[in-house]
Amino acid sequence: MLYYYLKSLHLIFVITWFAGLFYIVRLFVYQIEASQKPSPDKEILGTQLKLMAKRLWYIITWPSMILATGFAIWMLAMRTFYLTDGWMQVKLVFVVLLIVYHIKCHLIFKDLQNDKVNYSSNFMRIFNEGATIILFAVVFLVILKNAFNWIYGTVGIILFSILIMLGYKLYKRIREGKK
């Protein structure tokens, strides 16, 4: 019974972790765009966005990542046989990619907190899709497990990534046309 409580808590914190990752990059977009505005808008927006990002990052996103990972390790310790399953090994690769993505977000967060802008808002909009692609891959992998056809799955993720990029390009054209 404990395993199912752990699994529930793991899922809750995975959801809040992804919510934090999706929103923090959105805040990065706003921070970058605010840095290009004239005074006093630049300072007023910059201060408020930094505060919002700091609260989101340290109160929701980091704790969610730590708790989701902790509950996952606890579950794997209870059922080590999952580590021999191919689907779990692939899932763990995606989890490592998600942690790398999280760390990259942290580096960007620290730079923006220090008013150091290294990326464009357009780059951040595309970067935001990294977590989406990982989310889709992990959900399909976990739900389909051993029935998952690796070739179709790989092609599917590539096609999904292409669709996201095409959708972004369309959105960018529409947004630029309204200016």
How many residues are given for the chain? 179
Other beta carbons less than 10 A from residue 14's beta carbon? 22
Distance CA 118, CA 102 (A): 17
pLDDT at residue number 151 = 65
pLDDT at residue number 114 = 97
Other beta carbons less than 10 A from residue 112's beta carbon? 24
Instruction: State the pTM of this model.
Output: 0.86
pLDDT at residue number 79 = 95
The angle formed by the CA atoms of residues 124, 130 and 133, to the nearest 5 degrees, is 145
**Maximum C-alpha span of the chain:** 59
pLDDT at residue number 150 = 62
Q: List per-residue pLDDT tens for the chain, 179 residues long.
A: 999 999 999 999 999 999 999 999 999 999 999 999 999 999 999 999 999 999 999 999 999 999 999 999 999 999 999 999 888 888 899 999 999 999 999 999 999 999 999 999 999 998 998 999 899 888 888 887 766 566 677 777 788 888 888 888 888 888 777 65
Residue appearing with tokens 């692609």: 133
Would you say 10 is a known binding-site residue? yes
pLDDT at residue number 52 = 98
Would you say 91 is a known binding-site residue? yes
Q: Which two tokens mark 28?
A: 């990065």
